[in-house]
Structure 1
C-alpha cells in the first residue's frame, strides 16, 4: 500500500510545502489579509468552474449542493477551518521562517486529540495520546523558549509569530472535530466547494474594510506566486488530498504531516535564504516524537487489525 501511495503523498507534501514557502515570499508584497482574500477567491472560482464544466465531454453532471445542512455546516467550516487558519498562518510568516511555522503546524494532531476528548464522546484519551500531546507541546515550547525564528534577520523570536501559528492550529483542529461531529456522511467535494466560497466571502469584506486592496508593491513574480498558491497549493492540493484519502485511506494521507516540514524547511533555505539551526532540528525531532507516540497503537490492537484485514467478516 505504501509503495503505491508514496508518489501521491510526496507530491501532495511538495504542493503544500512549496505553497508555504511561496506564502512567505508573498508577505513581502501583500498584506496577509489581501493575499489570503485573493488566494481564496481564485480557488473558489476554480471550484465553481468545475461545477460549470461538469457536463462537458459527456461527463455526469455535478450539481451544486442544495441541502441546507451541507450549506450551513460547510460555511461554518469555511470560516473556522479555512479563513481564520490560513490568514493566521500566513500572518505568522511575517515573524518567522517557513521551517519554524511548518514544524509548529505539525502540532495539529495533538490539539485535535485534546479537542476531540472534550467534544467527541468516541475519542477516549489513552496514556499514549496524553504522552504524545505533552511531548509535542514540549517541542514547541522548546523552540519558543530558545527564541528560534529560522531567520537571520531576527535574533530573537517574536511571540506574535508563534501566537498566529497557534491560532491557525487551533482553528484547523477545531474544524477537524466539527467535521467529524456533524459532517461524516457529506460529500467531500461539495463540502470543500462551499467551504472555499464561504471562506472567501468572509475574508474579502474584512480585508476591504480594514486594510483595503493595495497592490502597489506587487510585481509580476508576486502575481505568479499568488496564482501558484491559489490554483496549485489550494485548489489542486485539496483535490489531490481527497484523491489520496479516497484511494488509500486517511492514514497514508496523514503522513504528509511529517514530510511537509522537511520540504518547506529545505526549500525555504534554498530559495529564501532561511536558516536551519541545530535547535530547529532538535525541536522538530521532539515534536515528531510526540506525534508518532500520539499515532502509535498497542501491539494487541495492531494484531487485531492484521487479523481483521485477512479474516472475512460476517456479511462479507
Structure 2
C-alpha cells in the first residue's frame, strides 16, 4: 500500500463515515429520495468542472454494464441507507456497514470466480458472528422497526459490494471521474423525477442556509469527491481493497454519533465491531499473502 493510497483510504473513510450524521440531520425535513437527489446533484456540481477541464465528457461511452453499475452505485443503496436511518441510530448502521468487504468477498467468489481459502471462510464467519453477537445481546430490546431498518441497510451494503465487483469486471479501465459522474448522474435523474412528485416542498427547504451548507459538504465532498477516490482505489487495488474503507468508517460514525447526536455506544457494539475488524483483518492478510506469493514466483 503506497502512501497516496493510504491517504486516499483514510480520507474516503472519513468522508463516508460522516454521511450517516448528515443523513440523520437532513431527515428532519427531507424525504429519503429527496436527500439522495440533492446529495447527488451537489456532487455533480463538483465533478462537472473537473470532467470539462480534463476533457473527459467526449470519452464517456454508455454501456449496459456502466448503467447497471451506476444504478447500483448510488440510486439504490443510498436510498435504502437513508430509509433505514428512519429506524436505526447512526452508531448501529456504522457497525453493520463494516460487513461490506465481507459481502464483497462472497460476491468475488460468486462473480469473479475467486478461489476462497481457509482464512477467507474464517474471516467470513468471524465477521458475521460479530453482527450476530450485537443483536443477540440486544435481544428483547430490539424493536420490530429496527429489524426492518437492519434488513434494508444490509441490502444497501450488498449493493455497494456488487458495485465494486462489477466495476472491476467490466469497467476497470474506465476513468474514476467518469464512473463517479455517471453514478451521480443516474441517481440525480431517477431521484429528481421522484422528488418532484413525492416531496416537492424539499426544493423550498434546500435554500435554508443550514441544509444548503450540509448538502455542500455531503454532496460535493462525500458524494462527488468521495466516489472519485472510491473508483481510484478499486482501480489500484481491487474491490475488496477499496471496501476496506469500512474498516475505518465505523470508528468515525461511532465518534460522531456519540458526541454530536448523543447516541449510546455500548459494550456489545464494541465487542461485535472487534469481531468484524478481526474478520476483515484476516481477509486483508490473506490477500497480501497471495499478492506476495505472486510477486516472488
TM-score w.r.t. structure 1 length?
A: 0.81
* Residues 1:105 and 2:93 are matched in the alignment: no
- The alpha-carbon distance between structure 1 residues 79 and 303, as it changes in their structure 2 partners (threshold 3 A), is closer
SS of 2:28's partner is coil
**Cα separation, 2, equivalents of 1:116 and 1:252:** 12
- The alpha-carbon distance between structure 1 residues 299 and 77, as it changes in their structure 2 partners (threshold 3 A), is closer
Q: Which residue number corresponds to residue 283 of structure 1? A: 272
**Cα separation, 1, equivalents of 2:295 and 2:97:** 31
Q: Which residue number corresponds to residue 49 of structure 1? A: 49
Q: Which residue number corresponds to residue 65 of structure 1? A: 59
Task: Within 5 Å, give how 1:128-207 maps onto structure 2.
Answer: 128-147=119-138, 156-157=142-143, 158-207=146-195
**Cα separation, 2, equivalents of 1:303 and 1:171:** 30
**Cα separation, 1, equivalents of 2:58 and 2:45:** 13
User: Aligned residues, how many?
Assistant: 293
SS of 1:61's partner is coil
* Residues 1:19 and 2:19 are matched in the alignment: yes
Query: What does the per-residue CA deviation read over 1:139-195, in whole Å, with 9 as the maximum and x for residues that have no partner?
Result: 2222233338xxxxxx53411220121110121122222222222222222122112
* Residues 1:91 and 2:83 are matched in the alignment: yes
**Cα separation, 2, equivalents of 1:302 and 1:51:** 34
Question: Post-superposition shift, 1:131?
Answer: 1.9
- The alpha-carbon distance between structure 1 residues 298 and 92, as it changes in their structure 2 partners (threshold 3 A), is closer
**Cα separation, 2, equivalents of 1:300 and 1:108:** 21
Contact 1:51 1:64 in 2 (8 A): no
Q: Which residue number corresponds to residue 115 of structure 2? A: 124
Question: Which of 277, 286, 289 is equivalent to 1:297?
Answer: 286
Contact 2:43 2:221 in 1 (8 A): no
**Cα separation, 2, equivalents of 1:220 and 1:21:** 17
TM-score w.r.t. structure 2 length?
A: 0.86
Question: Post-superposition shift, 1:5?
Answer: 4.8
220-229 or 263-272: bigger deviation: 220-229
- The alpha-carbon distance between structure 1 residues 225 and 265, as it changes in their structure 2 partners (threshold 3 A), is same
SS of 1:146's partner is helix
Query: What does the per-residue CA deviation read over 1:120-147, in whole Å, with 9 as the maximum and x for residues that have no partner?
Result: 23x1122221221122112222223333
**Cα separation, 2, equivalents of 1:109 and 1:299:** 15
Contact 1:36 1:86 in 2 (8 A): yes
Question: Post-superposition shift, 1:49?
Answer: 2.8
Query: What does the per-residue CA deviation read over 1:67-116, in whole Å, with 9 as the maximum and x for residues that have no partner?
Result: 343xx322221212211111111222222222211111111111122222
82-91 or 186-195: bigger deviation: 186-195
6-15 or 179-188: bigger deviation: 6-15
Query: What does the per-residue CA deviation read over 1:218-237, in whole Å, with 9 as the maximum and x for residues that have no partner?
Result: 75322221221001111122
Q: Which residue number corresponds to residue 270 of structure 1? A: 259
- The alpha-carbon distance between structure 1 residues 213 and 139, as it changes in their structure 2 partners (threshold 3 A), is farther
Unpaired runs of 5+ residues, structure 2, are none
Contact 1:10 1:256 in 2 (8 A): yes
Task: Within 5 Å, give how 1:23-38 maps onto structure 2.
Answer: 23-38=23-38
Determine which structure has more spread, i.e. the larger CA radius of gyration: 1
Q: CA RMSD in A?
A: 2.8
